[in-house]
Amino acid sequence: MTSSAHHLIVGGQRSGKSRQAEGLARQWLGASPAHEVVVLATATAWDDEMRARIARHQADRPAGMATVEEPRGLSRVLREQARPGRMLLVDCLTLWLTNWLMPAEGVADHAAWRRERDAMLETLSGLGSPVVFVSNEVGWGMVPMSRELRVFVDELGWLNQAVAARCGQLTLMVAGQPWTRPVDASEAYPGDVA
């Protein structure tokens, strides 16, 4: 599968990112009775509000979509779940990064994060499934006051750029409306900035 089969959907909170991704997954399922979709969910239920969000996302998913929960080992799960006829929907990169850089328990391991990020990016080029990624665009607001949050915003921006460079399509969600365009490899972010 070429990287042009992959698709990145970015936007702010409540912009319709997951709904857009699920719409692409429904189209995939409708194109052939042999098609499958597996949602790779990265959320961790650390409080009641987050548990309610996860439950709502699960309830809203169309029938016929299996779910695999993996908060950190995305490169491994992508390889394990990829196969012809199966779309993988990663929801979402923002929470995946959060689990690495702001773990509920313990201290962030930036070196381990970079190894996992690089492994995931490398996995995309030869993957046997198209992947739809969902991620937040968080860099349009004020510069965060804390160093930890500035590092997070920078890392997410670099991650989104690196994933986009490996996708054929990019969709920006604004107020529930998609703005989609092909990725121009000559403009795309090539890799690491650390």
Strands 169-174 and 86-91: unpaired
Q: Residues 7, 35, 57, 110: which is the catalytic one?
A: 57
Residues contacting 67, CB < 8 A, separation 6+? 38, 39, 41, 58, 61
Classify 129 as helix, strand or coil. Answer: coil
* Burial of 7 from C-beta contacts in 10 A (0-12 / 13-18 / 19+): buried
Active site residue 57: yes
Question: ∠124-170-58 over CA atoms, to 5°?
Answer: 75
Report, as residue numbers or ranges, the catalytic residues: 57
